[in-house]
């Protein structure tokens, strides 16, 4: 987890509310990723970034948006949280996009 922090680490929110998760890195890596991990589905890529203001969708991007205005920060926003978005969210970073290093995760519960 060195060099990568996620905030908050735990969050409980109500259906329909907006939620923003933050990933912060001190490694100055170019690539950053957001995954969700669910039992039976493993790790699934939501969005990723290959530079400041450069982002692209992963396999489960519906209902999520991202922003990266600085190299060190990558934000994941749930515009209107739903119960299906209850999950553990992981941020990852990569210097060249070919190996990844993960943060400690954020446990999100949508009631």
Partner 1 sequence: KQEVTQIPAALSVPEGENLVLNCSFTDSAIYNLQWFRQDPGKGLTSLLLIQSSQREQTSGRLNASLDKSSGRSTLYIAASQPGDSATYLCAAFYNQGGKLIFGQGTELSVKP
Residues in contact with partner 1 by CB under 8 A are 1, 42-43, 45, 58, 90, 92, 97-105, 107
Residue 98's region, left for phi above 0, alpha for psi from -120 to 50, else beta, is alpha
Minimum distance from residue 65 beta carbon to partner 1 (Å): 20
Least distance (Å) from partner 1 to the CB of residue 29? Answer: 13
C-beta closer to partner 1: residue 48 or 78: 48
DSSP code of residue 40: T
Nearest residue (CB) to partner 1, 12 versus 43 = 43
Q: Which is nearer to partner 1, 16 or 72 (CB)?
A: 72
Q: Which two tokens stand for residue 14?
A: 């109500």
CA 31 – CA 96 distance, rounded (Å): 7
Q: What angle do CA 76, 77, 81 make, to 5 degrees?
A: 130
* Of 85 and 89, CB closest to partner 1: 89
Closest separation between CB of residue 42 and partner 1, Å? 5
Calpha distance 111→108 (Å, rounded): 10
């Amino acid at each position: 987890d060195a060099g990568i922090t996620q905030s908050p680490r735990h969050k409980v929110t109500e259906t329909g509310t907006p939620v923003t998760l933050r990933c912060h890195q001190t490694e100055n890596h170019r690539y950053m990723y957001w995954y969700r991990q669910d039992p039976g589905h493993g790790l699934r890529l939501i969005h990723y970034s290959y530079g400041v203001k450069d982002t692209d969708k992963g396999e489960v991007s519906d209902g999520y948006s991202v922003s990266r205005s600085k190299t060190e920060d990558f934000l994941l926003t749930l515009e209107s949280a739903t119960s299906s978005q209850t999950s553990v969210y992981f941020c990852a970073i990569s210097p060249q996009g070919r190996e990844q290093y993960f943060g400690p995760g954020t446990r999100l519960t949508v009631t």
